[in-house]
Amino acid sequence: MAKPTEYVKHIESYVDSSSSPSQQAASVDALAILLRNDLLTLEALVRELDLYLTTTDSIIRSRGILLLGELLTQLELKPLSDAAIHSLIGFLTERLEDWRALRGALVGCLALLRRKTDVGVVTENDAEAVMKSYMQYLQVQSMGQHDRKLCFELLECLLERYPNAVQPLGNELFYSICEGIDEEKDPQCLILAFHIVEVAAKLFPDPSGPFASYAADIFEILGRYFPIHFTHPKSEDIGVSRDELSRALLLAFAATPLFEPFAIPLLLDKLSSSLPSAKVESFKYLGYCAPMYGSDRMAKHGGALWSSVKDVLYTSPESALSVESESDGGMIFEESDIMVEALILLEGLMQQNSDLLLDMILGDEDINNFICSFLKPWDIHDTPLQLRQQLHSVGRLLAVSAKSSMASCNRVFEKFFPQMMEALGCSVGNHSDESFATEDRALSSRFNYEAVSGNAQSSFAYTGVKGLQLLATFPRSFAPVSLLLFENILLKLVSAITSNFDKKFSWGLELKALVEIGLYIEGYQESEKAATFARIVVDKFVSWISSDEPAMPLSLKMQAICETGMTGISNMLRIVQGMEKAISAKFTQAYVDGNFESVELVIKVLECYSARVLPWFEMNGGSEEVAWNLAAIIWDKIDNSSSVNLTVQNYELLGAAMTAMKQAVRRCSQESQEKIVNRAFRVLSASTLFPLKDSPFATSLSNSEDSYLNHHVDRVSCRDEWIISLYASVVIALRPQTHVQNLKMVLQLFIMALTKGHIPSAQALGSLVNKLPSKTNERHLSQEYGVEEAIDVILTSSIWNFCQSNTLRKCSLFGGGNEIHNTKCLAGLNHTSVHISAIVGLAWIGKGLIMRGHEGIKDITMTFLGVLLENTNNGDFPESCDPIEGKEQEVIPLMKSAADAFHILLSDSEDCLNRNYHSVIRPLYKQRFYNSVMPLLLSSTRQSNSIITRSMLFRSFAHVISETPLSAMISEANKLIPLLLDSLSTLTEDVMHKDVIYNVILVLSAILMDKNGQVAVLENAQAIINQLIGLAAYPHMMVIRETAIQCLGAMSELPYARIYPSRTKVLQAISKALDDPKRAVRQEAVRCRQAWASIASRSLHF
């Protein structure tokens, strides 16, 4: 036996409210061990506790009783004598009255009531006393959450373990249950409450018993919780999930048929909600409750239930086409959760009372009419999606109905099957004896498909095609399809494709089937079939290319051809042969005569080449022969024809030919490229472009050059334009290693062409300077030129001379003769346009240099800057010109093009100078350029005092920053932002700059969003906000206003003290934007206003 001193200290430590929870827990454990090991008897302990249990100090009393309760919980497995249990439970029952010390009594009662029979249990009389005391004293809803939970547990325990004790209490019990669970909101308590209702309801099944009179009240309390709506974001926090709660409520609903008069109307009512989750829940509950309530009770709701099921399944079916059938446009649907639950409900109801429901289903006029309407031949692709969904649903509905029993199966079968078979053209007799449930189910679920296919033989819709495809792709080892049959299938499909092209859906389906068959043959190496396929399908399609038969749109023809070709290399080669033949046959016609159909055909074939065939060969490792052949054919054709008819289509044709040429050449190896480029040069040199070859073009020319150029512009024929464009395309796509012959001449030719505004020539020049080898020793022996020489040739050409004082002059080879050009730029509009072309050309050349990181870019940049600065700062316009008019007309476009040259320099181009065309790209070239050009731009901006010059300089600046990666600029955001704002305010003065403003504001917004830019933004917050307020009313471009307001919204996130002074100003500006004519702006304004208003208070008063 333990000495009193040993355990008294534990008792005192527990009762002492100043000790920590862990100490208290330790004391309980220590005492429990003593008790369990019989070192201390319960009796002695209670005696020792005496004062604590009865003192008038409620805090100590509650601690004392709680200690007793806790100990009893720990001793659940220790045998106790009946007398001890009796006196303990008696004491604790009494203590339920004592609300100040309630918890201990609850814990103790619960522990005693939960004891197993072999260790001594509470007698029924005592349990009844507990129940009575509970009913008399406990006001569950006025307690805290934990106490409520204990109360519910106690009640649950009493109901479950001592049904005989609580049964006599009847009405009072239910009153107390109602009172207890009313308005309960805690999820853990709710689960218990639901369970209590469930157990109580099962305890009193008598329809005239006490539960019956309380069913309405209890259900009113329960019904409020349906459907369970969970506002707790995470269920882990509360230990109960939504599903658990929902399940508990479901069990409570289904606990007794007495709930039926209340539950079914509620659930039907909730079905009217458009919230999918509510519908799913309602169907789930209905499906679960229906069998529990019994068929008699459910019979009267039959009509309502059927109409709600029908509503979901038939009237507005929410099934989605499954992913795989999306492309087939077919009939495979994925049902929504609602439909799944509705079908489960229907299944349950059918099993319960199939006659009643079948009467309703089979008698339903809508369903009957619907089925009848599908019994005549129809086309699936003409059917709207909803009809197809309905068809699917009706199929499912009939399948479920037929499944429930043999009898119902027979009824469904008798009703619909004969009609369907008749519609399909089969006699009913063959099938009349198949009435097994399973088989019929399979049939009925297939009904929809069969009905869909209508008359399969005549319309080749879904089933027909699918079936043929399945047959044809059956592996030989399983079910050999004879070659003859295979042939027939292919013929059938081909003829279907030929005739069906106006029906988009089935056409696609048939083509897909053919492609699948082709892929299958490739995959399984069936050589015989492959030959058949090639003969019947591929050859047939290829023959279409150049014939007018069938009368199918060209784009569909090409689609069919390409897709069948992509099934395998041999098929593709056949098709390529066909296409090459077509180009050979039609190209001359198209290109010389401008014959409309031929032009269209050749354009399509060329597009097909560049978009599908060439990439396919690259992907599938085909030879470069195809690309090489294409290039060769085109050059042959050009070479052989002498003149070209200039039409609009001809330009389209030229575009397609250039794209195809680039795509083809870039895929060729170095040797083939050299062959092509030489071939092309031969054509070029034979053209009328080449009196030039003897002209002293490279030397510094005098005025005569201008007249020469002008003269030449007129003289260049359409054929020459073709030749030079295609030649430029070849050059653009060359590999760096490829050697170009007669480079000097080519360079001169391109220079000549670019002055006429021929962009491809400029791009070709850019590509050339980008790829030419830089050092002499790297050079190929035969390579006559390196990049330095090429640049020299280009830059010494006198077309640049109008930029008088530029740095090009410094180039060593740049000869004299500059002086005479001083006035040239003003000699006439024609010259201005020549000079603009020259600047654009120079920009492309610069792009080539900048990408490889060549030094020459500095000179070119200086040229542009020179144009920007000089024309206004030098007042040396000839007096003959009107000082203002002349200036505006002549100079502004020129300066604008010089500013835009920076855009060409830095932006990425699709057409040339990218990885696809084997460009030499130095890493971080944009960053380098940014770092070198920025100081120049800044100092020029500071020096210039002319408005036009400033705005043009800022335009260049805008181009540079909008093309440079943000990461390169963000470290200097501090310096950048004032400049950005300056440029915005300068650029807004002219409408011409609106696109550029947009780019700048995008950069600004990127800085605002970037973490690293925050400090700089903060420093300039006021200025930024002022500028943005101005832009929020920018009249010429909606996106600028929108972005400005977005940026303002982002600014509201900055620290309060910084932005508060601007708040009123911003809100006033934004309230004007609320009236913007464009909706997008208004919406942004609402958001922005909300953000700014809430930084001070939620009120929008200001």
Partner 1 sequence: MTLGLINANPVVHAKKERVARPLDDPHADDAVDPLEIYDIVRDIRDPEHPYSLEQLSVLSEESITVDEKLGRILITFTPTIQHCSMATVIGLCLREKLKDCFPAHFKVDIKVAPGSHADEEAVNKQLNDKERVAAALENPNLRQLVTECLYSSEL
Catalog residues that contact partner 1 under the rule CB under 8 A. Answer: 141, 182-183, 223-224, 226, 229, 231, 269-270, 272-276, 278, 1038, 1071-1072, 1074-1075, 1077-1080, 1082-1083, 1086, 1089-1090, 1093-1094, 1098, 1100
User: What six digits make up the tokens of 199?
Assistant: 């157990």
Please report how close the Cβ of residue 318 comes to partner 1 at its closest, in angstroms.
11
Please report how close the Cβ of residue 175 comes to partner 1 at its closest, in angstroms.
15
Query: What is the Cα–Cα distance from 507 to 428, expressed in whole angstroms?
Result: 33
Q: Is 717 exposed, middle or buried, given 0-12, 13-18 or 19+ CB atoms closer than 10 A?
A: middle
Q: Which is nearer to partner 1, 276 or 883 (CB)?
A: 276
Q: CB atoms < 10 A from the CB of 790, how many?
A: 23
For residue 320, what is the DSSP state?
A: E
Do residues 228 and 249 lie in contact, with contact meaning Cβ atoms separated by under 8 Å? Answer: yes
Please list, in sequence order, all residues whose beta carbon lies within 8 angstroms of the beta carbon of residue 1019, skipping any fewer than 6 positions away. Answer: 974, 977
User: What six digits make up the tokens of 236?
Assistant: 């882990």
Please report how close the Cβ of residue 1062 comes to partner 1 at its closest, in angstroms.
19
The DSSP H or E segment spanning 829 is helix 829-852
Please report how close the Cβ of residue 1005 comes to partner 1 at its closest, in angstroms.
18
User: What six digits make up the tokens of 570?
Assistant: 């041999």
Please report how close the Cβ of residue 907 comes to partner 1 at its closest, in angstroms.
21
Do residues 996 and 988 lie in contact, with contact meaning Cβ atoms separated by under 8 Å? Answer: no
Query: What is the Cα–Cα distance from 795 to 792, expressed in whole angstroms?
Result: 5
Q: Is 594 left (phi over 0), alpha (psi -120 to 50) or beta?
A: left
The DSSP H or E segment spanning 334 is strand 333-334
Do residues 825 and 831 lie in contact, with contact meaning Cβ atoms separated by under 8 Å? Answer: yes
Q: Which is nearer to partner 1, 632 or 1038 (CB)?
A: 1038
Query: What is the Cα–Cα distance from 826 to 819, expressed in whole angstroms?
Result: 14
For residue 881, what is the DSSP state?
A: S
User: What six digits make up the tokens of 130?
Assistant: 């507990």
Please report how close the Cβ of residue 170 comes to partner 1 at its closest, in angstroms.
25
Q: Which is nearer to partner 1, 104 or 223 (CB)?
A: 223
Query: Tokens 């399983």 belong to which residue?
Result: 478
Query: What is the Cα–Cα distance from 614 to 667, expressed in whole angstroms?
Result: 8
Q: Which is nearer to partner 1, 233 or 875 (CB)?
A: 233
The amino acid at residue 645 is N
Please report how close the Cβ of residue 498 comes to partner 1 at its closest, in angstroms.
38
Q: Which is nearer to partner 1, 280 or 980 (CB)?
A: 280
Q: Which is nearer to partner 1, 460 or 1092 (CB)?
A: 1092
Q: Which is nearer to partner 1, 277 or 584 (CB)?
A: 277
Q: Give residue 429's Cα distance to chain centre.
A: 54
Q: Which is nearer to partner 1, 187 or 1013 (CB)?
A: 187
For residue 228, what is the DSSP state?
A: P
Q: Which is nearer to partner 1, 41 or 139 (CB)?
A: 139
Do residues 1066 and 1021 lie in contact, with contact meaning Cβ atoms separated by under 8 Å? Answer: no
Q: Which is nearer to partner 1, 966 or 1038 (CB)?
A: 1038
Query: Tokens 């670019």 belong to which residue?
Result: 754
Please report how close the Cβ of residue 231 comes to partner 1 at its closest, in angstroms.
6
Please report how close the Cβ of residue 560 comes to partner 1 at its closest, in angstroms.
32
320: β partners: 334
Q: Which is nearer to partner 1, 75 or 1048 (CB)?
A: 1048
Q: Which is nearer to partner 1, 910 or 1075 (CB)?
A: 1075
Own/partner long-range contacts of 460-464 (Cβ < 8 Å, ≥24 apart): 460/492, 460/496, 460/500, 460/506, 460/510, 461/379, 461/380, 461/381, 461/506, 461/509, 462/328, 462/330, 462/331, 462/380, 462/506, 462/509
Please report how close the Cβ of residue 1101 comes to partner 1 at its closest, in angstroms.
10
Do residues 59 and 17 lie in contact, with contact meaning Cβ atoms separated by under 8 Å? Answer: yes
> What phi, psi does 320 have (nearest 5°)?
-105, 145
Do residues 195 and 156 lie in contact, with contact meaning Cβ atoms separated by under 8 Å? Answer: yes
Q: Which is nearer to partner 1, 674 or 1084 (CB)?
A: 1084
Query: What is the Cα–Cα distance from 516 to 527, expressed in whole angstroms?
Result: 16
3 state SS of 967: helix
Q: CB atoms < 10 A from the CB of 155, how many?
A: 27
Query: What is the Cα–Cα distance from 852 to 1007, expressed in whole angstroms?
Result: 29
Q: Which is nearer to partner 1, 141 or 235 (CB)?
A: 141
Please report how close the Cβ of residue 841 comes to partner 1 at its closest, in angstroms.
33
Q: Which is nearer to partner 1, 228 or 868 (CB)?
A: 228
Please list, in sequence order, all residues whose beta carbon lies within 8 angstroms of the beta carbon of residue 358, skipping any fewer than 6 positions away. Answer: 350, 401, 408, 411, 412
Question: Which of 257, 157, 251, 247 shows the shortest CA–CA distance to 204?
Answer: 257
Q: Which is nearer to partner 1, 361 or 1088 (CB)?
A: 1088
Please report how close the Cβ of residue 997 comes to partner 1 at its closest, in angstroms.
17
3 state SS of 321: strand
The amino acid at residue 548 is D
Please report how close the Cβ of residue 141 comes to partner 1 at its closest, in angstroms.
7
Query: What is the Cα–Cα distance from 548 to 598, expressed in whole angstroms?
Result: 11
Q: Which is nearer to partner 1, 269 or 414 (CB)?
A: 269
Please report how close the Cβ of residue 249 comes to partner 1 at its closest, in angstroms.
13
> What phi, psi does 734 have (nearest 5°)?
-70, 155
Q: Which is nearer to partner 1, 813 or 1080 (CB)?
A: 1080
